Amino acid sequence: MRYEVIFSREAAQDLERLFDHILERELRSPTGDLGIAERAIEAIRHACQLLEHSPFSCRKAGASAFLRELIIPFGGSGYVAMFEVRDSRHVIVGAVRHQREDDYH
């Protein structure tokens, strides 16, 4: 079985926000690496490909068995994607946050 992974509007905005944050941080750094922002977004998108085949392998994120979190390592920390298995064919990514953000849930 293969699931279609769909990023909600909010999740797509999260990716833009994360990209902008990394880019701004690297521009301020004397040794900034402007490629990090692209690599981070690519790591998130690549990790979400797991959801096409086995979304239930990710940890539960609440009382519902269909609401789950995907941990995405990147650098010294990483990201977390919250998603919902909507039905037998669709996974909706609802939010993407840096692991150190405190407003995830």
88's CB contacts (< 8 A; 6+ apart) are 1
pLDDT band at 101 (very low <50, low <70, confident <90, very high): confident
What sign results for the dihedral spanned by CA atoms 96, 44, 13, 29? positive
Domains of the chain are 4-98 (3.30.2310.20)
pLDDT tens for each residue of 29-79: 999 898 999 999 999 999 999 999 999 999 999 899 999 999 999 988 999
